[in-house]
Amino acid sequence: MKTQVCIIGAGPAGLLLGHLLRAEGVDCVVIERQTPDYILGRIRAGVLESITVSLMERLGLDARLKSEGLPHGGFNLADGERLIRIDIADLTGKQVVVYGQTELTRDLMDAAEERGLEVVYGAADTALHDVEGDAPFVTYMKDGALHRVDARFIVGCDGFHGPSRRAIPASVGKEYLREYPFGWLGILADVPPCNHELIYANHERGFALASMRSDTRSRYYVDVPLTDRVDEWSDDRLWDELAVRLGPEAAAHMVRGPSIEKSIAPLRSFVFAPMRHGSLLLAGDAAHIVPPTGAKGLNLAASDVYYAADALTAFFRRADNDAIPGYSDRALARVWKAERFSWSLTRLMHRFPEDGPFERAMQVAELDYIASSRAMQTAIAENYVGLPV
Ligand code: FAD
Ligand code: DHB
């Protein structure tokens, strides 16, 4: 098969990019290892920034997002008895939308056929070839046969563990990595949320987050040691822990119910730079990971894709050769700011095992400062709602 852009990975980054390119008349194909059901079974992010919402609007794929998404004009930081509300609507004039990654991905998948976006699911042994030259190609196995896609560009949207980043020689890239000594244990349950807005809580027993997917579906997280296994956390144990960490007010409104999903995700900060090598561009988790505290992972994938679509469209539609070389610097400028925000909110809201009284005093001082300063609240709000692209 021959195409202009071969996209590897049909997560939110790959599908969004595919749709944006098709909307501009650029030929592309998406190669995905898993099945659609497997992808839709992964429960991940839940908060969309305006960039992500506006890309869905631009594609005309925002009907369900508009009707089912929950606009949120604020969120809360809790520390012991204290609840600090960050009024993002008042501080920035913008809102975030609570809408699950699963639903966004489903909207993109459902529209693929009618928009002429070809997605190959169930591709095994995907490999990238000749990425340094002008005629790269991708090979994969499907139905017992070897397939080859020749393209002008390859975009690696294949997540942290995919093959694309590894196709860039170690000598031309640099990895920045910070691993955290805990993971997030998440539970999804068909019960009403305990609060109409999100609560991020720093409790002496650890972090907790109260989130939601709808008025009848809740998503909660606690941080746990990396050695914990999901089967050590019965639903009852997890609800008890959430009630303690979120505090009496939230606990009084918390409705318990059986988990429909429960999993542990490790926390890490990671950046690979540059995000382009020859004819290969990286986007989303393939190039960077943030700890989930700032709700930035999915939204960063969307902003990368915005820049990548812009550069590829300039190349194919306007014969502009200058946009592709600028892709990595444009994307990384925003990536690093989201990395900083996610890292600093993680630092502020978690009890690190190595922390002593001094580090805790710094958290309390920072929370005091946030509670009393509109400037501090504005800085948090504008990062949370998403910095401009
Ligand atoms: P992905 O969604 O990872 O998609 C990559 C795609 O590439 C996948 O479909 C994968 O199957 C495919 N692929 C991989 N290897 C190959 C191959 N060899 N060949 C072909 N295809 C391949 N963010 C938040 O903001 N909040 C959260 O609560 C949150 N929770 C998370 C929980 C987990 C367990 C993980 C892993 C991430 C979480 N994130 C969260 C981050 C957020 O979900 C990601 O940032 C987002 O999914 C990035 O989208 P992506 O398309 O770049 O990558
Ligand atoms: C959710 C996940 C996050 O990482 C976050 O910061 C806020 C909400 C969620 O899954 O709902």
The reply to whether 384 belongs to the active site is yes
Q: What is the CB < 6 Å shell around ligand 1?
A: 8-14, 31-34, 39, 44-45, 101, 123, 126, 157-159, 162-163, 265, 284-285, 292, 295-298, 301
Which residue's alpha carbon is nearest to atom 5 within ligand 2?
A: 295
Ligand at shortest distance from the CA of 18: 1
Residue nearest to atom 7 of ligand 2 (CA): 295
E strand segments, the chain: 5-8, 28-31, 47-48, 70-72, 75-79, 82-86, 96-98, 118-120, 124-129, 137-142, 145-150, 153-156, 174-189, 199-203, 206-212, 218-225, 259-273, 276-277, 280-282, 288-289
Non-local (6+) Cβ contacts of 70 within 8 A are 97, 98, 99, 212, 214, 215
**Token pair listed for 246:** 């979120």
Q: State the ligand closest to the CA atom of 76.
A: 2
Under DSSP, the state recorded for 257 is -
- Catalytic residue chosen out of the listed positions 203, 262, 296, 350: 296
106-to-64, 103, 326, 386 alpha-carbon distances in Å: 10, 5, 31, 23
Q: Which ligand is nearest to the CA of 211?
A: 2
Q: Of how many residues is the chain composed? A: 389
Q: Is the ipTM of this complex over 0.90?
A: yes
CA distance 376 to 369: 7
Question: Would residue 196 show up in a list of annotated catalytic residues for this protein?
Answer: no
Mutate to test the pocket of ligand 2, among 185, 211, 290, 343 (most ligand atoms within 8 A of CB): 211
CATH for the 179-267+351-385 domain, from 3.30.9.10, 3.40.440.10, 3.40.50.300, 3.40.390.10 = 3.30.9.10
Active site residue: 72, 262, 277, 288, which one? 72
pLDDT at res. 80: 86
User: In this structure, are residues 147 and 200 in contact, taking their beta carbons and an 8 Å threshold?
Assistant: no
Task: Encode the chain (389 residues) as per-residue pLDDT tens digits.
Answer: 999 999 999 999 999 999 999 999 999 999 999 999 999 999 999 999 999 999 999 999 999 999 999 999 999 999 988 999 999 999 999 999 999 999 999 999 999 999 999 999 999 999 999 999 999 999 999 999 999 999 999 999 999 999 999 999 999 999 999 999 999 999 999 999 999 999 999 999 999 999 999 999 999 999 999 999 999 999 999 999 999 999 999 999 999 999 999 999 999 999 999 999 999 999 999 999 999 999 999 999 999 999 999 999 999 999 999 999 999 999 999 999 999 999 999 999 999 999 999 999 999 999 999 999 999 999 999 999 999 99
Model-level pTM?
0.97
The token duo for 323 is 């946009």
Nearest-CA residue for ligand 2 atom 6 is 295
Which pLDDT belongs to residue 207?
A: 98
Would you kindly state where each structural domain of the chain is located, as residue ranges?
5-70+96-176+268-345, 179-267+351-385
* CATH T-level topology, domain 5-70+96-176+268-345: FAD/NAD(P)-binding domain (3.50.50)
Same fold yes or no, 5-70+96-176+268-345 and 179-267+351-385? no
Nearest CA to ligand 2 atom 9: 46
Examine the residue annotation and report whether 121 is marked as an active-site residue of this protein: no
276 lines ligand 2 (CB under 6 A): no
CA angle 139, 142, 143 (to 5 degrees): 150
Give me the catalytic one of 180, 221, 292, 350: 292
Task: State how far the Cα of 155 lies from the Cα of 86, in Å rounded to an integer.
Answer: 37
Q: How far is the CA of 295 from the centre of ligand 2 (A)?
A: 5
Q: Is the CB of 101 under 6 A from ligand 2?
A: no
pLDDT of residue 81: 86
Closest ligand (CA of 264):
1
Question: Is 176 an annotated catalytic residue?
Answer: no
Contact residues for 294 (Cβ-Cβ < 8 A; gap 6+): 338, 341, 342, 345, 346, 383, 384
Mutate to test the pocket of ligand 2, among 198, 200, 296, 346 (most ligand atoms within 8 A of CB): 198
Whether residue 180 lies in the annotated active site: no
Q: Which of 200, 221, 306, 327 is catalytic?
A: 200
